[in-house]
Chain A
Amino acid sequence: MTELIPLAACLLIAFGVGSNDTSNALGICIGAGIIKLRRALFLFGFFVLAGILLQGQKVMKTVGKGLVDTNLTILSVALTVSALLIILSNWKRLPLSTHQVIIGSLTGSGVASGADVNLLSLVEIVLSWIISPVVAFLLSYSLYRLMEKTISKLSLFNIEKILRRLLLAGGILVSYNTGANELATVLGPVIYSGLSGEMQASLLGSLFVFLGAFILSSRVIETIGKGITVLDPYSGFAAQFGAGSCVLLFTFFGMPVSTTYCVIGGISGVGMLKGMKTVQTSLIKKIIANWVIAPVSAFLICYFVTLAVKRFF
């Protein structure tokens, strides 16, 4: 019966990913009226499933096998605390990265249990968190420059037509990454600890992502939709596609990286081209602080909770 705890926590996180990340992926397209909400939700669900089935294995292995030698206690504590932190952050509208919370929790719980923690793997993951926004910055910067030299030369209505398709392509890429990277991070530990088969977990995880998107995402998307009425589609696409390509690149190497932080890198890259004044440095400082606080707090909470569990059970 206790095996059900990490499984339930995993599905809860998948549900949270669905409710939160549909807006990351297709919020711009829905807000811009490129695609209707219902169509977008099915498209999102389809590409999340495609992502985890086609390319989720490497990230699953890094998080589930390469990082911590897990057992039932570690998984139960780490995934339950992660689920609670993610739900709390969604509720309080704090931008927490699912990857950072899960990695921090697994490591904290692993250290407290005295399990083998692969330091090299941990360093690689943390380095990829530092490098990925920089790569996204460069990709978005280059993409924006390329668009200025190519698409900008076309006639207005051709530009509009192309941008609509490109924005949708960017949304699909982020949806695919949600499956191949984010959901893979969530499911990796339960798959590699033998609590569930890969196919079974992938299907169930994707279903819960879809349910989260279907039940809860419309409110978040509506907010984004209203806020982007004057969004510059060039910048929006360059930032999103640059970030999406960056996450895909790291997925090839099996590194769990956050789409949100890559999008921030992408937006800063595009912002640089439009002048440093457009980049809100105070916001970036807050994000960096959050970037440090999220994994560290997850680590500490799981560390102490695991110690408590070991002492009392």
Chain B
Amino acid sequence: MATPLELKAKYNPSWCPGCGNYGILNGIKQAISQSGFAPHEVVIVSGIGCSGKDPHFVNTYGFEGIHGRVLPVATAIKLANHKLKVIGCAGDGDAYGIGAAHFVHALRRNIGITYFVHNNQIYGLTTGQTSPTSDKGFTTKSTPGGVIEEPFNPLALAIAGGATFVARAFVGEFDQMKEIMAKALLHKGFALVDIFQPCVTFNYKNTYQWYQERAYKLEDEAGYDSHDKELAFKKAVENSGKLPIGVFYQEERAAYEESVAAIKERPLIDQEITNIGIKKTLEEFL
């Protein structure tokens, strides 16, 4: 286990002052520390976008891949060495736009990845175009007349798609976010944490104040049971103008890697390859 300070890398982030990513980064370090993982046992996989730079600022292993492909890379790392704690860091474009196909399959696969989606409802690094989670009517450089589509609902999709841990956090509610992150890290299987994270430069609408006014905590709601799938789905599609934050849904189910025969005894990378016998296999062609 490492302290958050020990999890600080030698590089400093260069996000815009006030960016929600600073809080998420802090949360990642604190949650890793709290969950007790040693830095060398953790791999953070990221894509492209402002969130893509996360791995450089945490003193763990990292793989900074290409846009939208966080989950395939992370999936394979987990399968190659399931002793590692694999974290995916993606933006809303990464996760729900270009990478949507991988998202859907990670849900049904229930692979042991903790997925932190930095959701600011806009494309920041490409300087302000619409995102799959942009609100309807939102005007951006690429949608000057306002977004026509309905926003993508990651929570509802995740619950419907077979996810076993589905949560939403807001970086402005740091303590709750950090606790959700720590829980997600300890969850067996695929854990989605969708995190509202204001883009202070390009999103003029969904600001800290905007989220603050709408967010309310699920744990404060009497009778909410995060093990009730139907209730969770209702909450995920709630159309009250408010934004529930907290753990929407969780269930215990075998993780994908637990059912893969080849890695039952030891991780793939620990299996000896120097002198593999193939004589019998070749004889099958006689």
Q: Do A and B bind each other?
A: no
Which residues in B have some Cβ–Cβ distance to A below 8 Å?
Answer: none
Which residues in A have some Cβ–Cβ distance to B below 8 Å?
Answer: none
